[in-house]
């Protein structure tokens, strides 16, 4: 099956910016959550941001509040993550995910278990 595909991950210096993009064109007919997660070796996957398409709301985790912004580009069918003022602790593999199952309806889009489609990830490395 076609999976979400991330792009935009690159090495960057502290304080720099990146814009990640996720192609979700295959999931626009029936989806409830579109989210960004990140993971480093030895740690569990961490929720970063999401859009609840049903409610029309967006959220970001506290550690990136004021620095990251999730948005939708309906013309391109993408979900983007604008990342500003990057810090070394932001270094991780970033994953785009979509939730389309009926079980996702009414569930929290911050929970990893809600998502059923995951991209392969894109690496973001922030040098100190």
Provide mean pLDDT across the span 114-122: 94
Strand positions, DSSP E, the chain? 5-7, 11-13, 18-23, 33-39, 46-52, 57-60, 68-73, 78-83, 92-99, 117-118, 122-127
Tokens standing for residue 87: 């810090």
Per-residue confidence (pLDDT) for residue 73, from 0 to 100: 87
Per-residue confidence (pLDDT) for residue 121, from 0 to 100: 96
Per-residue confidence (pLDDT) for residue 28, from 0 to 100: 67
1: pLDDT strictly greater than 70 = no
**What does the alpha-carbon distance between residue 97 and residue 127 come to, in Å, rounded to a whole number?**
26
If DSSP states are collapsed to H, E and C, what string results for 78-93? Answer: EEEEEECCCCHHHCEE
Per-residue confidence (pLDDT) for residue 74, from 0 to 100: 82
**What does the alpha-carbon distance between residue 81 and residue 8 come to, in Å, rounded to a whole number?**
9
Which long-range contacts does 71-76 make (Cβ < 8 Å, 24+ apart)?
A: 72/34, 73/21, 76/21
Percentage of residues in the chain having pLDDT higher than 70: 97
- Which DSSP category does 3 fall into? -
100: pLDDT strictly greater than 90 = no
More confident residue, 105 or 14: 14
Per-residue confidence (pLDDT) for residue 30, from 0 to 100: 67
Q: What is the mean pLDDT of the chain?
A: 91
Per-residue confidence (pLDDT) for residue 29, from 0 to 100: 64
pLDDT digits (tens, 9 = 90+) for 11-63: 999 999 999 999 888 776 667 899 999 999 999 999 999 998 777 789 999 99
Of the CA atoms within 13 Å of residue 110, those in its CB half-sphere come to 7
**What does the alpha-carbon distance between residue 88 and residue 16 come to, in Å, rounded to a whole number?**
11
């Amino acid at each position: 099956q076609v999976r979400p595909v991330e792009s935009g991950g690159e090495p960057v210096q502290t304080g720099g910016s990146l814009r990640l993009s996720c192609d979700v064109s295959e999931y626009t007919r029936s989806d409830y959550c579109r989210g960004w997660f990140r993971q480093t070796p030895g740690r569990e996957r961490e929720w970063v941001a999401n859009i609840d398409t049903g409610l029309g709301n967006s959220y970001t985790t506290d550690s990136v509040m004021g620095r990251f912004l999730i948005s939708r580009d309906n013309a391109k069918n993408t979900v983007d993550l604008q990342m500003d003022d990057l810090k070394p602790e932001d270094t991780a593999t970033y994953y785009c995910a979509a939730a389309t199952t009926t079980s996702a309806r009414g569930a929290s889009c911050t929970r990893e278990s809600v998502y059923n489609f995951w991209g392969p990830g894109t690496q973001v490395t922030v040098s100190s």
